[in-house]
Structure 1
Amino acid sequence: MRALFGRLLGRNTPPVPAPTPTPTPTPESQAAHLQAGNAALAAGDLAAAGKHYRAAVRQAPGDAMAHLNLGYVLLEQGQLDVARDSLEKAVALGGGADAHYLLGQAHAARGDWAEARASHRRAVDARADFGFAWKDLGVACEQLGDAPAALDAYERASRHAPDLVDALGGRARMLLQLGRHADALQSARAWSERAPEDWSAHFVHAQALQALGHDAEALPVLDRAQQLAPGHAYVAYTRANGLFRLQRFAEAAEAYAQAVAAAPEWADAWANHAVALDRLKRYDEAIASLDRALGLEPAHRNALYMRSMLLLYAQREPEALASLERLKAAYPGDARVEWDYGFGHLLAGRMQEGWPAFEARWRTADIGVALQRHPFREPLWTGQPLRGKSILLYPEQGYGDVLQFIRFVPALEQAGARVLVWVPEPLVGLVATVSPNCVVGSKLEALPPFDFQCPIMSLPLALGTTLETLPAAVPYLHADAQRRSAWAGQLGPRRGLRVGVVWSGNPAQKNDHNRSMPLAQFRGLAVPGVEFVSLLNVVQPRDQAALREWRELRHFGEDLKTFSDSAALAAEMDLVITVCTSGAHLAGALGLPTWVLLAQRADWRWLLHREDSPWYPSARLFRQDGTGDWAPVIARVREELARRAAS
């Protein structure tokens, strides 16, 4: 500011009419004090400058320039209230754009951003090419949350004062805030090139890169920002977020640790630190970080939910359920919180509490799957009498969910209902085997009229299902005898224990990276005396090379056109080994001996810490241990498989 006002104070066009020429000033005249004050200001002696400007004001209280210069010195000295008073007098005496601008600076220094905006607006109204005033008008608008107005002011500042680097920085920030990420990147890059020692320029440059999905490219830019501002918590936090998205979890945890060391009162940073620690399987440390977050912000939503889940997986069920209750109490009516509450209780096997909250899936934006609810005119069935009525069931999520929940059809028929089922074409033939009276089709318009409708995963709530009343009789679906015979002929004589395998699910599923495993790793369970048959119809690109290398694995691919085909092939197996995907539900519904390989964070339907499943009596569960590693699971399965093949 001092350099600016050295220019302003020496300008040739004063903001008031030029005074009548006077003789050379005497040592005690008002003009002499102004000159002496200017000289002291140029020398950096604010105290002497202030003394002379006060004397000038006393001698000429109606001189706007004296009040303006005094106000500037007081502002530099941090005497904000007195500076404001002096500058208001300068404005009243016709001090013009300079007086309005400095008054805006005084208001800004006091945090009065609305007043600052008004004063800077008057400054640019008085002098349209006043670049500094446009820039500080942008700052005031930015502080007041008016990004469009701030952007306009910063752009005008840059046009009128191209060397004003701060205006370029403000433009970059506002473009980023307004979602114009490519434009923001262009401005931020130019800003960082023109201000290479300004950490904030590099920081905004990195933010723009991250907003465009260029996390790897942003890292060296953030490294430079961190070199220039080594103790800045938000730089460390932003760097940690990028590292996390790049799945460099150890580095992310270290960067989050730097952020919380710099800002130990930052609850979000502690919560994100816990997420990174969780990915590293450092669960006790993650819980400790969550406790720090909750100590700072007791109702922190993500921290409460994550802590609940970690405690459940750590077999600390009472603490976990208490944490879920705390979460629900903190956010009454919040759909995502209610869904989380339901998920946690279903995972714990507490279906009576879980099913009602599970309905919140329809009101929350993202639960990891794409829900399909249809706007039927017919009422939703929630338990009304069904005798003499018809009810339509329809899918809402994946194939496996239909295979799991179609088990409730006999209960509806026993209640006197005629059951219609609308499912995708690949499921029609197999689902129809649930009951000879059930009408199944893939085209809604081809199905008969109905009285009620119900998404299939809402049936347990309407039926009042608990863990104790869960219909678990298997098989409840059946393979077609003719298809089985065809597969038996195609498979030929047995070469040993015949095992069907499924190692991956739909890659679009949000949790697929946890539940599926690479075929090359899955192959580790192969032992002599076992004939392996793939039950997958589609092999992901990442597994194509491994499929070619595992020549002993029999794969029929496109021959498996429907689930009826898959069911008939699976029924020819002595054992099915599968990850948590539709293959598990298919084999379980057929009542086949099934080994399900589960990630450490398995889906709620597999409950916690059990090797059996109340949904599928013929299933045995092999879970990852606390390390979250598939290798011990594969080793256990291999050992059990070798024992079974030898018996």
Structure 2
Amino acid sequence: MPSRRSILKKAKAADLRPQAVDGSWLRKLLDRGRTFFRRPSRHGDQSVERHLELMARSVERCDWQAARDHALALGLLGEKLGDRGLVKKAGRGLRRLGGGNRAWQLIASSKQVPGRPEWDGNDLAGRSLAVERREGDLAIFLQFASLLGPVVAAADRCTVLVEPRLAPLYRRTYPALDVRPEAEGAAAVDADVFACFETLARHLWPDEPTARAPFVPLEPDRRLVAELRGAYLAHGPGPLIGFAWGSLNKSKDLPALDDWRALLGNLPGRFVSMQYGDVGPALSEFERWAPGRIIHDASVDQLSDMDRFAAQIAALDAVVTISNTGANLAGALGVPTVVLLDDGFRLSWPAFGETVATYPSVRLVRKGGRAWASAMREAGGRVAQTIGGAGDGS
């Protein structure tokens, strides 16, 4: 498996201009997304196999209610059979399908560590709690950050193990939180009870929206936010709109650079690149469509300094981006954001609708079987509504 250092080195050097795809390649991509639930059952259980097959068919025809019903059934079967993998897969599917609190119950139970006391939602007064992700990508720390407030207030001491690049954001947002790098490991933390982030969601995000722990945006370095915003507005009047277009993930169907032409040409203000990698070739093309309005800040490197990247995003009036870490970070910061989604069944975002419960400021624009140019026009319209009366922002 490549080291994190080698992956970052590759990402920094990559020219991530999206490549055109032919119809057969795209069909294969969509097929992979729609077969998320197809898996051989190690139990040979016919009920499992039947629900897996019906689940896959439901996803393929976008029958989300039926897909949710089969995911619920798979969760119950996974619990009955003691199959943690099936429980996790059902929970992750339900999360995409509007499965409510049941999604968190299933994912949390699949992540429990044997022999370690898991928080059961009871009073934390006089007790210490340690929170960790256990597995999953960086987005987990962004999607669930709001849940730390209630437990920090309730526990005698709350420790959280985080990806080191996010430690400054966490410490600034929750000064009473004991933030430690993940490398230390939960085994080195002295706590009465433990929890993964989904355990927090299970107890603090019930089905009733009015009872949910409220969204709390992460707190960027405000001095740096003001510094970056001032530097960007020195290029000309705002609004400031962040954008990102490329990914190392070759399974994504992404808008071609030319699909950004109308969006860049029709919106006012400056466009700030949030893209990692070798952005030079793409920016040269964008500059032709929005001459003098493209900003690339080489002092911001999201791959090594997430805090400065967060300050850059917080300095913006709006963001329009493909699905990536920047989209999640913008949502966690509460910055108005439009996320462009292809038609794959992806785990990061809801399978339907335009809102995201964990990020109130995010709106989703789905390709929906259209040409990307049509989806980009919709995205441009949403950004225009968002920036509304935004001017120079000073």
Please say whether Structure 1 and Structure 2 have the same fold, judged by a TM-score greater than 0.5. Answer: yes
- Tell me if structure 2 keeps the 8 A contact 1:407–1:434: no
Cα pair 2:104 2:201 within 8 Å, conserved = yes
Superposition map of 1:489-638 within 5 A: 489-493=230-234, 494-505=236-247, 507=248, 513-514=251-252, 517=255, 519=257, 521-522=259-260, 524-528=262-266, 529-536=268-275, 538-539=276-277, 545-551=281-287, 552-557=293-298, 559-560=300-301, 561-601=304-344, 603=346, 606-625=349-368, 627=369, 629-638=371-380
Structure 1 residue 483: Cα displacement: 0.9
Alignment of 1:338 with 2:87, yes or no, is yes
Whether the aligned pair in 2 keeps the contact of 1:527 and 1:642 (CA below 8 Å) is no
**Any idea what SS the aligned residue of 1:585 has?**
helix
SS at match of 2:141: helix
Instruction: Give the residue type in structure 2 aligned to 1:534.
Output: S
State the secondary structure of the residue aligned to 1:381.
coil
Q: CA offset at residue 584 of structure 1?
A: 2.2
* Residue 145 of structure 2 is aligned to residue 398 of structure 1: no
Q: Could you list the per-position Cα deviations for residues 100-135 of structure 1 after superposition, in whole angstroms to 9, with x for gaps in the alignment?
A: xxxxxxxxxxxxxxxxxxxxxxxxxxxxxxxxxxxx
Q: In the alignment, is the contact (CA less than 8 A) between 1:598 and 1:622 conserved in 2?
A: yes
Tell me the alpha carbon deviations over residues 552-585 of structure 1, each in whole angstroms, 9 at most, x when there is no partner: 4322245334222112111221111122222222
User: Structure 1 residues 250, 416: closer, same or farther in 2, change over 3 A?
Assistant: closer
TM-score (normalised: structure 1):
0.46
Deviation at 1:532, TM superposition (A): 0.5
Report if aligned partners of 2:205, 2:213 keep a CA contact under 8 Å in 1. Answer: no
> Residues 377 and 415 (structure 1 numbering): CA distance in 2 closer, same or farther, change over 3 Å?
same
Matched residues in 2 for 1:633 and 1:346: separation? 24
Query: 2: distance between equivalents of 1:453 and 1:330?
Result: 26
2:8 alignment partner in structure 1: none
Return the letter of the residue paired with 1:502.
Answer: A
Q: Provide the secondary structure at the position in 2 that maps to 1:617.
A: strand
Whole-angstrom CA distance in 1 between matches of 2:110 and 2:370:
27
Partner of 2:96: 347
Displacement of 1:603: 4.2
* 1:631-646 equivalence runs, <5 A: 631-641=373-383
Query: What letter corresponds to residue 283 of structure 2 in structure 1?
Result: L
CA contact (8 A) 1:520 1:546 kept: no
Q: What is the aligned partner in structure 2 of residue 324 from structure 1?
A: 71
Tell whether the 8 Å contact from 1:307 to 1:323 is kept in structure 2 after alignment. Answer: no
2:107 corresponds to: 358
Residues 224 and 308 of structure 2 are in contact (CA less than 8 Å); yes or no, is this contact kept in structure 1?
yes
Q: Is the CA contact 1:304–1:324 (under 8 Å) kept in the aligned structure 2?
A: no
Contact 2:204/2:212 (8 A) holds in 1: no
Q: 2:149 aligned with 1:407, yes or no?
A: no
Aligned to 1:381: 119
Matched residue type, 1:449: D
Corresponding position of 2:42 = none
The two structures, once aligned, show a CA RMSD in angstroms of 3.7
**Residue 303 of structure 1 corresponds to which residue in structure 2?**
53
Residue 231 of structure 1 aligns with which residue?
A: none
Gaps of 5+ in 1: 1-246, 253-274, 287-296, 363-372
Listed as ranges, the matches of 1:246-325 within 5 Å are: 250=24, 279=31, 299-300=49-50, 302-311=52-61, 313-315=62-64, 317=65, 319-325=66-72
Q: 1:55 maps to what in 2?
A: none
- Note the C-alpha offset of 1:485: 2.7
Matched AA of 2:55:
Y
| Separation in structure 2 between the aligned mates of residue 345 and residue 406 of structure 1, nearest angstrom | 21
Aligned residue number for residue 444 of structure 1: 184
Within 2, Cα distance between the matches of 1:584 and 1:467? 26
Q: Give 3-state SS (helix, strand or coil) of 1:487's partner.
A: helix
Alignment correspondent of 2:227: 486
Q: What displacement does 1:344 show?
A: 3.2
Query: d(CA) in 1 for partners of 2:214 and 2:156?
Result: 21
What secondary structure, in the 3-state scheme, does the structure 1 residue paired with 2:356 have?
A: coil
The Cα of 1:402 is off from its aligned counterpart by 0.1
Gaps of 5+ in 2: 1-20, 36-45, 288-292, 390-394
AA matched with 1:420: T
Aligned partner of 1:500: which letter?
Answer: G
For the residue of structure 2 that corresponds to 1:513, the secondary structure is: coil
Q: 1:305 to 1:532 in 2, by over 3 A?
A: same
Q: How many residues are treated as equivalent by the alignment?
A: 343
The Cα of 1:413 is off from its aligned counterpart by 2.3
Matched, 1:465 2:201: no
Equivalents in 2 of 1:407, 1:523: separation in Å? 36
- SS of corresponding position for 1:618: strand
Decide whether aligned partners of structure 1 residues 385 and 645 sit closer, same or farther in structure 2, where only a CA change above 3 A counts: closer
> What's the secondary structure of 1:421's corresponding residue?
strand
Change (3 A) 1:628 1:452: farther
Asked if structure 1 preserves the Cα contact closer than 8 Å seen for 2:108 and 2:198, the reply is no
After superposition, the Cα gap between the structure-2 partners of 1:303 and 1:434, relative to the gap in structure 1 and judged at 3 Å, is same
Shift of 1:300: 4.5
Cα deviation for residue 330 of structure 1 reads: 6.7
Deviation at 1:501, TM superposition (A): 1.4
Q: 1: CA distance between counterparts of 2:344 and 2:63?
A: 11
Distance 1:314 1:301 in 2: 14
Q: Look up the SS of the partner of 2:295 in the other structure.
A: coil
Tell me how far apart the structure 1 counterparts of residues 363 and 256 of structure 2 sit (CA, whole Å): 21
Q: Is the Cα–Cα contact under 8 Å of residues 378 and 451 in structure 1 kept in the other structure?
A: no
The offset of 1:646, in angstroms, is: 7.6
Change (3 A) 1:249 1:330: farther
Contact 1:483 / 1:568 at 8 angstroms: preserved in 2?
yes
Question: CA 1:582/1:466 → structure 2, altered by over 3 Å: closer, same or farther?
Answer: farther
Q: Which has the higher contact order (CA 8 A, sep 6+)?
A: 2
CA contact 1:471–1:615 (8 Å) conserved in 2: no
Which is richer in helix? 1
Provide the rounded CA distance (Å) in 1 between the counterparts of 2:215 and 2:387. 27
Q: Determine the C-alpha separation between the residues in 2 that align with 1:480 and 1:605.
A: 27
Deviation of 1:326 (Å)? 5.3
Matched-pair contact (CA < 8 Å) for 1:394–1:421: yes
Identity of aligned residues (%): 23
Q: Distance in 1 between matches of 2:354 and 2:185?
A: 43
Scaled by the length of structure 2, the TM-score of the pair is 0.73
2:317 & 2:71 partners in 1: Cα distance? 42
The CA distance in 1 between the partners of 2:100 and 2:349, in whole Å, is 13
Relative to structure 1, the CA distance from residue 280 to residue 308 in structure 2 (aligned partners, 3 Å threshold; closer, same or farther) is: closer
Conserved in 1, the CA contact under 8 Å of 2:338 and 2:383?
no
Counterpart-to-counterpart distance in 1, 2:179 and 2:253: 30
Distance in structure 2 (CA, Å) of the matches to 1:390 and 1:518: 50
